[in-house]
């Protein structure tokens, strides 16, 4: 299996002025081609360090893809360094120098001579045309090693990779890598891990857990000659995981619990309403982030004060007096209130202490979430254990409320 | 000047499953400390390659910061590799193992033994407490070299860097780089740039514009021996910018317009309510993200359907019939309705088409926002020009509604 390394060039990267999205884009593309990436690195616009890193990379890997440093200015030296290290000459490409002149002429602006640097191309290299800018890319092959240089701007690199580099790399590819996820809410990462621990030693497909603040993902990754074959390798593993974990699995190949909730509501032709205290707007925001949610989301009430809880949601003063705003009873009455006021088919509610810190009696990170369809009400108590992490507590509380809606819609709580 | 290298660990990075934002965050933070970053790299969860890369990095740099691979599972090996390479022993920290046990006990869930791996700490290292997760970080110093390992999740790494690592690294820093921002809503980046264009050639402090979707920031950055000296260099430039731009400046050294709105409400002892259609929860979410907002935020109503606009907010059926839900008139009645229902001192509203796409008549990205104190109502029409960018349109519309609240509280609209 061919091994590839990604080497990004640019002082602006090392200063943190820009986020490097090329690495992820190239990594994904190479994984799809079944080419392994074992190492990535970034250096500044410094030819000595670039040459050092390029030689080190060629010592470890079959293919090195660089991005950046192909522009017209004096500090753009990636092409020159790649050619020197691989022993390729540069020569002017007349057609390209005319094209660059034409590019400026068409825009009626003066062309600095330095731009013609971009018309120097490696003799004997495979050139990749740039349809979204002026600097072409190229591949240099010698002695079983391959260096590919690509432009830095993502708007030039991405189409060049898709249009030219992907096809060029096919000869280095032996198969494809496919990933699927199993999506879980309501069970912590380490408990999930314990239940499927024996699978973590598998080789093809591999199984690995990811913690996504309030959710857990198990990622199943297979390598095979074709996508269909990779899918066939994954399928029994996914089934086995779902069997072992049961109702905490809300789906596969999803990103967020709200995707599942909106899909269920649409399938069943039902509408939802929300009543929130501590999560304050998170539920409507997350539900309406999902395309198609306007058909199923009816209304949301953020009742931060007790007054509003009574006035808009009809929570009784006795409940608030006796049990407090952060209680099972209040969560229950908030959900029932939202259902009644909105006329929606189901309603969910949240009340809790998002932190930082508690209120002197109850700890930060304690919350109650409820769901009702008018007949039945279910309440869940949540203790996140993150006393001070307001953002986390709000997110997890909302996730668990959405999960209750999911369980009710799936008829999994009775 | 100290040289630092960043080494990120995680197979999920090399597969392109996640975007590496830690590199940029750390690069920025190190630049602010006056510490140079000349090299960054990423390897997978493979102890041999990690050790190789760590040794190579220590050959080039004074400080190496790793991120990732501190979790409870068997493939999390960064701490172990760092300690081995630097010659540090690991020993159980009883207090920490109790804390981890307590974390699970408080949530009433069984703790898998693997979690105790996180309680093993380097003897003689400087430990950084994790206030947002269970795995601590640490610095290992020996023979003039320093290795720092930090957790991978950005929500743990960022606060740990700000709370502990920044202070620890001060001794490696020579001089300080200080940045201040001028925060702007209601004027586009290119117009702001035009008004202060002559300042972009300055050397110390430098002035640079940043577009923050719906807001513009001007960042003023000075380098000096001390913070106070750097501040003295920035002050006259900041004053000059504020004078030139006028009322669109809502503050300095803020991050978001909602910080200013919550501060103004608290200063004046006033409460706010919100009524939303297209922004669906964004306003309460953003207001209550600000600590102290519970004193000033009264309630929020997300009225997605026309029914709810009439029923809960008292928008008249004639208004909806004649002008439609996305209109100046509906925005006005929604704000008045929220004020009336909540009893708050001021209310803001949003109604619009977030997209993707329009409704056949009106374009995506069109919205109306309103503010009222009961006596007066102001409405603003917004056209973002981003027909299909739902997230952007919702964010910008909410920003402009918050800005109207700011202007009314500052008595800048009459």
Residues of B in contact with A389 (CB under 8 A): 131-132, 155
pLDDT band at B241 (very low <50, low <70, confident <90, very high): very high
CATH of the domain at A340: 3.90.950.20
B278: nearest CA partner in chain A = A288
Closest-CA residue of chain A to B101: A385
Average pLDDT over chain B, rounded to an integer: 92
- The residue of B55, B280, B356 whose CB has the most chain A CBs within 10 angstroms, and thus the best one to mutate to test that interface, is B280
Q: Which of B53, B285, B310, B389 to mutate to test the interface with A (most CBs of A within 10 A)?
A: B285
Could you tell me if residue A395 is inside a domain? yes
Cβ <8 Å between A298 and B305? yes
Residue B34 has pLDDT above 90, yes or no: no
The DSSP letter of residue B111 is P
Chain B contact for A222, CB < 8 A? no
B48 lies within 8 A of chain A by CB: no
Where is the domain boundary, B222, B252, B282?
B252
Tally the residues of chain B.
Answer: 414
Residue of B nearest to A3 (CA): B14
Report yes or no: B316 at the A interface, CB cutoff 8 Å. Answer: no
Domain-embedded: residue A127:
yes
Residues of B in contact with A43 (CB under 8 A): 38-39
B145 belongs to a structural domain: yes
Three-state SS string across B316-367, please?
A: CHHHHHHHCCCCHHHHHHHHHHHHHHHCCCEEEEEEECCCCCCCCCCCCCEE
pLDDT digits (tens, 9 = 90+) for B159-168: 999 999 999 9
pLDDT of residue B208: 82
Contact B17 A304 (CB under 8 A): no
pLDDT greater than 90 at residue B212: no
Q: Which of B67-71, B208-212, B312-316, B405-409 has the lowest mean pLDDT?
A: B208-212
Q: Report residue B327's pLDDT band, with 50, 70 and 90 as the boundaries.
A: very high
pLDDT mean over B356-368: 90
Name the pLDDT band for B36 (thresholds 50, 70, 90).
Answer: confident
Q: B208 - beta bridge partners?
A: B219
How many other CB atoms sit within 10 Å of the CB of residue A410? 13
Report the distance separating Cα B208 and Cα B200, nearest Å: 6
Q: Which residues of B touch A311 (CB under 8 A)?
A: 341
The boundaries of the domain holding residue A236 are 176-252
What residues of chain A lie within 8 A of the CB of B71, using their CB? 189, 211
Whether residues B326 and B225 fall in one domain: no
Q: How far is A305 from chain B (nearest CA, A)?
A: 6
Q: Cα torsion for A184, A188, A189, A193, to the nearest 10°? A: -90
Tokens found for residue B187: 């004027």
Residue B213 has pLDDT above 80, yes or no: no
Tell me which chain B residue has its CA closest to the CA of residue A198.
B74
CA distance A373 to chain B (A): 19
Strands A206-211, A215-224: parallel, antiparallel or unpaired by DSSP?
antiparallel
User: CB of B29 within 8 Å of any CB in chain A?
Assistant: yes
Residue in B13, B37, B112 closest to A194 by CB: B112
Q: Residue B162: which of B307, B30, B74, B65 has the closest Cα?
A: B30
Asked if A177 has any chain B CB less than 8 Å from its own CB, the reply is yes
pLDDT tens sequence across B66-114: 999 998 888 899 999 999 999 999 999 998 899 888 878 877 778 888 8
Residue B414: inside a domain, yes or no? no
- Same domain membership, residue B141 and residue B45: yes
For residue B208, what are the CA distances in angstroms to B223, B234, B255? Answer: 15, 13, 16
Chain B residues lying within 8 Å of A26, measured CB to CB: 16
The reported pLDDT for the residue numbered A199 is 93
Does A262 reach chain B within 8 Å, measured CB to CB?
no
pLDDT of B2 > 80? The answer is yes
Asked if pLDDT for residue A74 goes beyond 80, the answer is: no
A215 shares contact with chain B (CB less than 8 Å): no
Per-residue confidence (pLDDT) for residue B179, from 0 to 100: 83
Radius of gyration of chain B (CA): 26
Whether B155 sits inside 8 A of A392 (CB atoms) is yes
CB contact under 8 A, B308 and A299: yes
Cβ separation A302–B303 shorter than 8 A: no
The answer, for A357 touching chain B at a CB cutoff of 8 Å, is no
- Minimal-distance CA residue of chain A relative to B107: A383
Q: Does residue B298 sit within a domain?
A: yes
CATH number of B213's domain? 3.30.70.2860
Question: Residue A413 in contact with residue A404, Cβ under 8 Å?
Answer: yes
Task: Tell which of A189, A285, A393 to mutate to test the B interface (max B CBs under 10 Å).
Answer: A285
Q: State pLDDT tens for residues B134-185.
A: 889 999 999 999 999 999 999 899 999 999 999 999 889 877 778 899 999 9
Query: Do residues B130 and B274 both lie within one domain?
Result: no
For residue B145, give the CATH number of its domain: 3.40.980.10
Residues A210 and A316 in one domain: no
| Residue B200 and residue B348 share a domain | no
pLDDT value at position A148?
98
Q: Are B111 and B97 in contact (CB under 8 A)?
A: no
User: DSSP states of B239-263 as a string?
Assistant: HHHHHHHGGGEEEES-S-HHHHHHH
Residue range B354-379: mean pLDDT, rounded: 93
Q: pLDDT confidence of A255, banded at 50, 70, 90?
A: confident
Distance, CA of B10 to CA of B69 (rounded, Å): 7
Question: What percent of chain B has a predicted confidence (pLDDT) above 90?
Answer: 69
Question: According to the model, what pLDDT value does residue A152 have?
Answer: 92
A392 CB within 8 Å of a chain B CB: yes
Q: How many domains does chain A divide into? A: 3
Q: Do B294 and A304 touch (CB under 8 A)?
A: yes
Cα(A371)–Cα(A353) distance, rounded to whole angstroms? 19
Taking CB atoms and an 8 Å cutoff, what residues of chain A touch B292? none
Same domain, A192 and A99: no
Per residue in A370-404, pLDDT (tens digit) is: 999 999 999 999 998 888 888 899 999 999 999 99
User: Quick check: B285 pLDDT over 90?
Assistant: yes
Question: Mean pLDDT across chain A, nearest whole number?
Answer: 92
| b/e code B108-134 from CB counts within 10 Å (16+ = b) | eeebbebbebbbbbbeebeebebbbbb
- Rounded to an integer, the average pLDDT of B350-360 is 90
Closest CA to A260 of A185, A348, A189: A185
- Residues of chain B with C-beta less than 8 angstroms from the C-beta of A209: 73
A234 near A218, Cβ under 8 Å? no
Task: Identify the domain boundary among B172, B203, B225.
Answer: B172
The answer to whether the Cβ–Cβ distance between B108 and A219 falls below 8 Å is no
pLDDT at residue B408 tops 90: yes
Q: Is the ipTM of this complex over 0.95?
A: no
Q: Among A224, A252, A280, identify where a domain stops.
A: A252
Does residue B149 sit in the same domain as residue B22? yes
Q: Indicate if A73 and A138 belong to the same structural domain.
A: yes
Closest CA to A118 of A88, A153, A90, A85: A90
Across the range B281-297, mean pLDDT stands at 93
Distance from CA of B394 to the nearest CA of A (A): 10
Band (A178; pLDDT cuts 50, 70, 90)? confident
Do the domain assignments include residue A348?
A: yes
Write down the pLDDT at residue A133. 76
β-partners of residue A351 are A368
Which among B16, B23, B303 is the nearest to A20, CB-wise?
Answer: B23
Greatest pairwise CA separation for chain B in angstroms: 79
In a domain, A315, yes or no: yes
Q: Give yes or no for a contact between A51 and A58, defined as CB atoms under 8 angstroms apart.
A: no
Quick one: DSSP state of residue A387?
T
Chain B hits for A39, CB-CB cut-off 8 Å, are 14, 41-43, 49, 53
Tell me the angle at which helices A78-86 and A47-60 cross, rounded to the nearest 10 degrees.
Answer: 50
Does B27 contact A13 at a Cβ distance shorter than 8 Å?
yes
Residue A414 lies inside a defined structural domain of this protein? no
Is B306 an interface residue toward A (CB < 8 Å)?
no
In chain A, which residue's Cα lies nearest the Cα of B33?
Answer: A15
Residue (of B240, B353, B348) closest to A294 by Cα position: B353
CB proximity under 8 Å: B 126-155 to A: 131-132, 153, 155
Same domain, B74 and B12: yes
What is the per-residue burial (b if ≥16 Cβ within 10 Å, else e) of B73-102?
A: bebbbbbbbbbebbebebeebeebbeebee
Residues B12 and B140 in one domain: yes
Per-residue pLDDT reduced to its tens digit, A26-49: 998 898 888 999 999 999 989 999
The 10 Å Cβ neighbour count of residue A301 is 29
Its pTM surpasses 0.80: no
Give the bridge partners for A128, in sequence order.
A137
* Domain co-membership, A64 together with A131: yes
Question: Which of A45-59, A161-175, B204-218, B332-346 is predicted with the least confidence, judged by mean pLDDT?
Answer: B204-218
**What percentage of residues in chain B have a pLDDT greater than 70?**
100
**Is B75 at the interface with chain A, CB within 8 A?**
yes
Q: Report d(CA A337, CA A301) in Å as an integer.
A: 10
Q: Are residues B242 and B292 in the same domain?
A: no
């Amino acid at each position: 299996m061919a091994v590839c390394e990604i080497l990004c060039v640019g002082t602006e990267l090392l200063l943190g002025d820009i986020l490097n999205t090329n690495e992820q884009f190239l990594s994904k593309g190479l994984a799809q081609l079944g080419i392994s990436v074992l190492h990535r690195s970034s250096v500044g616009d410094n030819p000595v360090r670039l040459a050092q890193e390029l030689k080190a990379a060629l010592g470890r890997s079959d293919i090195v893809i660089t991005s950046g440093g192909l522009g017209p200015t004096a500090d753009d030296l990636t092409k020159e360094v790649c050619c020197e290290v691989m022993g390729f000459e540069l020569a002017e490409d007349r057609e390209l120098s005319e094209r660059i002149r034409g590019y400026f002429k068409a825009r009626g602006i003066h062309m600095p001579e330095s731009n013609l640097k971009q018309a120097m191309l490696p003799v004997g290299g495979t050139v990749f045309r740039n349809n979204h800018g002026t600097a072409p890319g190229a591949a240099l092959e010698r002695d079983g090693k391959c260096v590919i240089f690509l432009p830095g701007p993502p708007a030039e690199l991405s189409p060049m990779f898709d249009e030219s580099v992907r096809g060029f790399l096919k000869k280095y590819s032996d198969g494809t890598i496919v990933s699927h996820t199993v999506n879980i809410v309501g069970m912590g990462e380490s408990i999930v891990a314990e239940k499927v621990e024996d699978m973590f030693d598998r080789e093809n497909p591999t199984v690995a857990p990811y913690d996504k603040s309030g959710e857990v993902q198990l990622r199943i990754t297979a390598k095979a000659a074709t996508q269909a074959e990779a899918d066939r390798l994954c399928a029994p593993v996914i089934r086995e995981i779902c069997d072992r974990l049961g109702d905490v699995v809300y789906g596969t190949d999803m990103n967020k619990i709200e995707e599942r909730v909106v899909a269920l509501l649409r399938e069943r032709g039902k509408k939802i309403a929300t009543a929130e205290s501590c999560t304050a707007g998170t539920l409507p925001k997350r539900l309406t982030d999902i395309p198609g949610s306007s058909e199923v989301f009816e209304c949301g009430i953020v009742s931060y004060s007790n007054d509003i809880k009574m006035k808009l949601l009809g929570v009784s003063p006795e409940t608030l007096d006796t049990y407090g705003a952060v209680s099972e009873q209040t969560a229950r009455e908030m959900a029932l209130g939202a259902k009644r006021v909105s006329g929606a088919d189901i309603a969910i509610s949240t009340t809790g202490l998002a932190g930082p810190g508690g209120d002197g009696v109850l700890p930060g990170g304690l919350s109650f979430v409820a769901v009702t369809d008018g007949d039945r009400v279910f309440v869940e108590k949540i203790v996140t254990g993150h006393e001070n992490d307001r953002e986390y507590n709000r997110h997890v509380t909302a996730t668990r409320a959405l999960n209750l809606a999911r369980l009710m819609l799936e008829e999994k709580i009775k």
